[in-house]
Amino acid sequence: MTASGETPNDVPTVLVRDQRGRQLLCFLEQLIPLDGHDYVLLTPIDTPVCLFRLEDDGEPELIDTVDATEPILSVADVVLQEHDLTLVRSAVTLTVSGELDEPDPDELEGDEADDDSETYELLVSFLADNQEYGLYIPLDPFFVVARMDGKAAVLVEGEEFDRVQPRIEAELEEREGLA
């Protein structure tokens, strides 16, 4: 530890805002200058989660868009509180704050159906309106792309994301090739 109380591994954090004013606190992973702007690749400080509808006879169905006032999320709040966790309705994704157990790598190996599909670990399941739902943690890294605007970060969405995302990936691949 240094005299200021920081550890040598401290990673800078950035607060990202989306168009609706929601925020997400993230770690700064990469800074990528493009077209006179500084774009940043970020990872959420809290654990990202995805909401799935669970069916008895099929695969869980990902619910892509969830309104922050959705009654299902109120039920999820109560279930998570039983585990000393808090559901955060943040920009980009839902997140969970609190102490989570690390996934057991031995348990995860059996869950991988094929390399093309994303893998998730079930955090909690619950019933809402006679329908079963689950909050799952994505096991693949969850990255957020933002554009720095002064000291603030603005979420890159829509056409701007479509335009810069391939260029950011190319820049990262080039950097990895040099490492």
The domain ranges of the chain are: 13-44+142-178, 47-138
Q: What is the pLDDT of residue 3?
A: 40
Buried b (16+ CB within 10 A) or exposed e, 74-102: eebeebbeeeebebbebbbbbbbbeebee
Q: Which residue has the higher pLDDT, 111 or 28?
A: 28
12 vs 41, 114, 140, 146, 154, CA distance in Å?
A: 12, 35, 22, 15, 16
Give kind and range of the element (H or E) at residue 124: strand 120-128
Could you report the per-residue pLDDT of 134-160, keeping only the tens digit for each? 999 998 888 999 999 888 899 998 999
Q: What is the value of pTM for the model shown?
A: 0.77
Structure tokens at 82: 């039983």
Is residue 103 pLDDT above 80, yes or no? no
Is residue 70 pLDDT above 80, yes or no? no
Could you report the per-residue pLDDT of 10-69, keeping only the tens digit for each? 779 999 998 888 899 999 999 999 989 999 999 999 999 999 999 887 788 888 877 766
Structure tokens at 147: 């554009």
Query: Which residues sit opposite 26 in a β-bridge?
Result: 14, 44
Q: What is the pLDDT of residue 10?
A: 79
Please answer whether residues 49 and 63 qualify as being in contact, where contact means their C-beta atoms are separated by less than 8 angstroms. no
Compute the distance between CA of residue 28 and CA of residue 92 in angstroms, rounded to an integer.
Answer: 16
Give the percent of the chain with pLDDT over 70: 83
Give the least confident one: 3-17, 55-69, 71-85, 91-105. 3-17
Query: Which residues sit opposite 41 in a β-bridge?
Result: 30, 145
Is residue 7 pLDDT above 70, yes or no? no
Compute the distance between CA of residue 125 and CA of residue 80 in angstroms, rounded to an integer.
Answer: 10
Paired sense of beta strands 13-17 and 152-155, if any? parallel
Which residue, chain included where needed, has tokens 């800074």?
31
Listed residue (86, 75, 77) closest to 131, CA to CA: 75
Is residue 174 pLDDT above 80, yes or no? yes
Q: What is the pLDDT of residue 177?
A: 81
Neighbours of 27 (CB within 10 A): 15
pLDDT classification of 4: cutoffs 50, 70, 90: very low
